[in-house]
Amino acid sequence: MRYTNIIATVAVLALGTQSALAAASKEENIGVGTGAIVGALAGGPVGLVIGAAFGAKLGDSLNKKSERIDTLQVLYFAVQFVNIALQHRYGLL
């Protein structure tokens, strides 16, 4: 009976959250799935919900950090380009 409840809970959550996961990042989707599995194994249906929520938050955090790193890399290369252009202009290279 316990496994039937777990399977039913997973099925309802999977069907109910498909539209929410469609707009989520890859990292967030992985976090939700992993958190749900680990949470379900550790704490049953309540653990599944808590694990999925924690995984979503962690995945979202990782995605935001990755986006910030990408932005900073672009800015760094832009500054390097301007630096080289100015050095050429003033004959320093």
Average pLDDT over residues 33-51: 91
Token reading at 61: 């955090």
What span, in angstroms and rounded, lies between the C-alpha atoms of 41 and 18?
A: 22
pTM flag (> 0.75)? no
State the Cα torsion 9-12-16-22 to the nearest 10°: 80
44 alpha-carbon distance from chain centroid: 24
Residue 36, number of CB atoms within 10 A of its CB:
25
The full set of domain ranges for the chain reads 2-64
CA angle 50, 10, 56 (to 5 degrees): 40
| pLDDT tens digits for range 43-72 | 888 999 999 999 999 999 999 999 999 999
What span, in angstroms and rounded, lies between the C-alpha atoms of 9 and 91?
A: 70
